[in-house]
């Protein structure tokens, strides 16, 4: 969600060989704090070898998150306005600036161990970018990385084509990334705008970037997508890029929250 020197090019799944499996859970719409605590538990279990690698896929009620690099002036709304709109605010330990989650946005939290040649933060960010790109492509939107920024970008003038930022007429951000990595165990992740209410982004300076707007797949195509179906595409894409076997996506969206568990052994 912050700027970086170079965001790199789309990756092939064979660039970073790694064996193993990736369990995916579709959680449906869940409060941010509850899923944050689940992430933290999963990361501790992964570090202890009690579970294998897992991808949590979710949508959140309207929530603003403040990363380690966030600036106070990038939150444009007053506390009274946020309260009236029912928007929560959380300060968290991921990298990057301010961002917003809301219904219609697919959020992915990989809790994976990066091993050997995977231990490169920039390369991992490229993998998350490519994961989002494949979901967008399946919906008919071509997008890609932009040098100098983190995330997934699209040319809103020609959303079905992507020939690099230097050829784009009107750049807009389609997906954001903010990660935390501790002892090479990842948490936090990506947020892809599918059917999200874009007006909510007026509450912030998204990722600290004021020179380019944000957009969504629905705005670009007119299509309203199933988040569950997009979650399956994201799960399979991330598994391929990490050279893991994607286990069947578990649908936990209808379970009461205390009953949501990670059904995977180390």
Report, as residue numbers or ranges, the catalytic residues. Answer: 207
* Closest to 98 measured CA to CA, from 70, 76, 62, 68: 70
Cα–Cα dist 178/176, whole Å: 7
Other residues' Cβ atoms within 10 Å of the Cβ of residue 249: 19
Q: What is the dihedral of CA 111, 117, 120, 124, to 10 degrees?
A: -50
| Tokens read off for 187 | 């948490």
Cα–Cα distance for residue pair 222/217, rounded to 1 Å? 8
> Residues with Cβ < 8 Å from 143, sequence gap 6 or more?
132, 133, 136, 137, 152, 153, 154, 162, 174, 175
- Output the CA–CA distances (angstroms, integers) from residue 139 to 38, 42, 160, 224, in the order listed: 29, 30, 10, 10
- What does the alpha-carbon distance between residue 74 and residue 99 come to, in Å, rounded to a whole number? 9
Tokens of 194: 């599918």
């Amino acid at each position: 969600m912050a700027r970086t020197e170079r965001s790199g090019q789309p990756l092939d799944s064979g660039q970073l060989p790694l064996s193993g499996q990736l369990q995916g859970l579709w959680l449906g719409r869940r409060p941010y704090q509850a899923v944050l605590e689940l992430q933290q538990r999963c990361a501790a279990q992964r570090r202890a070898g009690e579970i294998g690698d897992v991808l949590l896929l979710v949508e959140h009620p309207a929530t603003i998150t403040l990363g380690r690099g966030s600036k106070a002036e990038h939150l444009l709304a007053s506390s009274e306005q946020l309260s009236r709109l029912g928007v929560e605010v959380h300060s968290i330990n991921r990298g990057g600036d301010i961002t917003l989650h809301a219904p219609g946005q697919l959020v992915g939290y990989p809790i994976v161990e990066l091993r050997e040649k995977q231990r490169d933060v920039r390369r991992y960010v490229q993998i998350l970018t490519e994961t989002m790109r494949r979901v967008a492509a399946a919906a008919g939107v071509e997008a890609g990385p932009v040098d100098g920024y983190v995330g997934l970008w699209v040319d809103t003038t020609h959303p079905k084509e992507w020939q690099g930022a230097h050829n784009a007429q009107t750049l807009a951000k389609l997906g954001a990334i903010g990660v935390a990595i501790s002892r090479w165990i990842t948490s936090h992740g990506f947020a892809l705008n599918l059917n999200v209410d874009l007006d909510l982004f007026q509450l912030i300076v998204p990722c600290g970037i004021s020179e380019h707007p944000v957009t969504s797949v629905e705005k670009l195509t007119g299509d309203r997508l199933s988040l569950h179906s997009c979650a399956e595409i994201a799960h399979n894409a991330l598994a391929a890029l990490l050279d893991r076997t994607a286990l069947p996506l578990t649908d936990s969206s209808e379970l009461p929250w205390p009953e949501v568990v990670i059904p995977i052994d180390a």
